[in-house]
Structures are given as C-alpha cells and as structure tokens.
Amino acid sequence: MNIVLKNATIIEKNNPFNNQKVDIEITDGVLSKIGTNLAIKEGYTTIEKENLHVSTGWVDTQVVFGEPGFETTETIKNGLHVAAKSGFTDVFVHSNTNPSIDNQAVIHLIQNKGLGQATQLHLVGTLTKNAEGNELAELFDMKNAGAIAFGDYKKSLTNANLLKIALQYTQDFNGLVFAFPMNKDIKGKGFVNEGVVSTKLGMKGIPALAELVELARNIAILNYTGGKMHVPTISCAESVALIREAKSKGLSITCGVSINNLVLNENEITDFNTDTKVYPPLRSEQDRLALIEGVKDGSIDVITSDHCPVNIENKRIEYDLSAYGSIGLESIFGALNQVVPLEISIEKLTNGHQFLNEKPEIAIGQKAKLTLFNPDTHWIFESKNIMSLSKNAIMLGKKMKGEVYGIINTNSIQI
C-alpha cells in the first residue's frame, strides 16, 4: 500500500505537526515522509479530501456484534466494515453471543472471522462462565488465546468475593477486569432513570443509587486487592466524583462513558421511542453535564459508542418489554464533536490504545494506523446513514458535526 495524503491537518497531542496541514507519504503501510508539497512518486496513489484531518486510529472499548448466535442482529464481517467506515481501527468486542466468549475455542472462532479486515478485533472474554456470575471463567487460558480483558457484558457481579478473587488472580498475568456498576437489587424492575420524567410517564425508574452503591463497592474491593479495573460506562454525576477520588488515591482504575449518556438526557424517552431504551439509562441533564466535565478533566478516560444492535422484533414492542441497546458506531463522532472540543474528542477516541499496550504515533517509521475525517461538516443523522444490519439508532434525527472518511490500518485502506 503506497499512498500520499495531501493537505491533511494532523490532530495529535504533543506531535510537532499538531494542527498543521501537511502531506503524509505511506510506503508499504509505514509512514515514510511527512512534509509540505511532497512529490508524488510513481506507483503511489493520492488521496485528497475536503478539509482532510488525520489522527491516530480510534478505539471503541465496548461493542457487540451478535455473531456467533445472533447473526440476524449483526455479523462480525459487516460489524467490522461499519467500524472502519466510522473511523475505528480497533474495537473491543464483548460477549453478547451464544455461546458466550468464555473459553479459547470461542475466542479462536471469532478471531478467525475477523481476519483480513481493516479494523482489528479485540475480544473481551467473560469474567464468569457463561456470564452467569457463579464461577470464574478460564481467564488465563483466554488471555493466552488473545483476550485483552475480562468482564460480563452489562452485568455486575452480585458475589463481591468473586470480584475480589478475580482482581487478585488476574494480577499474575497483568489482566484487566471490566466491572459494570449496577446493583440489580436496587435496580429492581426499573428500566429508565428514576426522576420526575419517569414519574410523569408512569415508568419504573432505576435510581442513580443502583450505580453508586455498586461502583463504591467495586472501588473498595480494588483498593483492597490491587489489580487493574476498567469501569466500562458510568451515567451519574456522583459516579464521576467517585472515579475522580479513586484516581486521586492512586488506584489503577480507568473509566468510560457511552456517547448516549454524554449527548442525551432523560427527556428523550417522553415519546416512548424504544430506541431510547439504553443501559445504563439516559439520566438527568445535571448528570449529563457532570459527565462532560469528567471527560474534560480526565476523570473519564474513554468514550464508547456502546454499539448494541437489536433486531426489530425485540425493539418495536412495548417500551418496558423492549430490549436495551442502540447502535452507535456510525454516529459517535458527529455526536461527540457537538459537545466537546475536537482535541478532546480525538484524545478520548484514541485513549483505548493503552489497553492494548501500544502507543501508535503519526511519525516517520511508524505503521500507518490512521483515522481520516472532516470535523466541520454539519448534517442530520438519517436512516440512509445506517450501515449496520440492525436499525435501532438512538441518534436518528439528531444534528451531527463532522464526518468520517475512513481508516488506514493493517496495510490496507477503508474509505
């Protein structure tokens, strides 16, 4: 792959070319020259795009594709295609599958299905067998097979001692534990945020307390055991404060937030559109603003699309019976770029590389792992913009700022 990106503005903190418009030459998948007015060599393809910007490749730390078991919602092949067109060079795929990603065989199966794609697939194995929360899965074996972390997707461990053992055990091989915070007893039968809106609509609410109690418990266990913990999504102002405090104590804890909670609030549910039923639920405007501050001050490390395809049979039904989840890969950048400055957007979209023990750079001699985009276009997210097999998009009809052209990765290009 020999190409030259013409007149590309680099967005990369601490890069000497940051915010400068340059040409970038890529030879056999490696960055070979960076400068202005580079000559085009024979055999090189020129790529020019309107207001072209380039950053290190983006990472999404929480997506599900369904396959194996739920291919009607999304396949791995199409899911990775959507991710590439949405700007992601790397995605962390979680177990919302049948069978669960809880052993080497399933990991190898999914890895093989992801070969040859521009977007690299990284698997988060379940923390417990079949994600049932009763006994630990084969963590070390899955680590050896290529799992990058362990966590039961959207489930919190009722058994606190099991989380303690997991954090102790994974230290032997530098493992990372994903710990989703939601106390199921306090949550009860709630399915939207508990507050004035849910009361007016007659919907059963999930109090912020359900998240806070579980998060505080998990942090206390981490403080006792040591180890590495990632909180995949938080949704409340008080959770931001808990994470901030834990980091100030030197705990090895990182945190993410869903684009849904960062951009939207509980008022979205008033028309009973089931695409707004997500987990954690959309919270109050005060919570949303606190999450934005957490992103800006570094309390929140990464932002995820929280991409969760759901087929129409499980979405176009009564609100309380419908499944949680929204697709988000196609709209995350345009939505995020509306609420935080571009430099922060790119920082949070690239921070996931730390979990892969890599630090790609836009520098000569580095492998090309790039996302190409235009941060300044304004548009409306419509059905025609959906590339996923499932169409449950919470951002439909929302204003977007910025469009993605594609990625260059694995010595291939997807634009």
Q: Does the fold of domain 57-356 match that of domain 3-53+364-414?
A: no
Burial of 384 (0-12, 13-18, 19+ CB in 10 A): exposed
Return the beta strands (E) in 11-147 as ranges.
21-27, 30-35, 45-47, 53-56, 58-63, 88-93, 120-125
pLDDT at position 1, please?
Answer: 87
Query: What ranges do the domains of the chain cover?
Result: 3-53+364-414, 57-356
The one-digit pLDDT tens for each residue of the chain (415 residues) are: 899 999 999 999 999 999 999 999 999 999 999 999 999 999 999 999 999 999 999 999 999 999 999 999 999 999 999 999 999 999 999 999 999 999 999 999 999 999 999 999 999 999 999 999 999 999 999 999 999 999 999 999 999 999 999 999 999 999 999 999 999 999 999 999 999 999 999 999 999 999 999 999 999 999 999 999 999 999 999 999 999 999 999 999 999 999 999 999 999 999 999 999 999 999 999 999 999 999 999 999 999 999 999 999 999 999 999 999 999 999 999 999 999 999 999 999 999 999 999 999 999 999 999 999 999 999 999 999 999 999 999 999 999 999 999 999 999 999 9
pLDDT at position 73, please?
Answer: 96
Please report the sign of the dihedral spanned by the C-alpha atoms of residue 306, residue 152, residue 103, residue 140: positive
The residues that bridge with 414 in the sheet, in sequence order, are 407
Q: Which CATH number is 57-356's, of 3.20.20.140, 2.170.190.11, 1.10.1200.10, 3.30.70.1150?
A: 3.20.20.140
Q: Which residues, other chains included, contact 17 with Cβ-Cβ below 8 Å and sequence gap of 6+?
A: 10, 34, 362
Alpha carbons 12 and 405: distance in angstroms, whole number? 17
Residues forming the active site: 306
pLDDT at position 319, please?
Answer: 97
Per-residue tokens: 353? 């590389």
Alpha carbons 128 and 107: distance in angstroms, whole number? 15
Find where tokens 């998060």 sit.
215
CATH architecture of 3-53+364-414: Roll (2.30)
DSSP 245-281: HHHHTT--EEEEEEHHHHH--GGGGGG--GGG--SSP
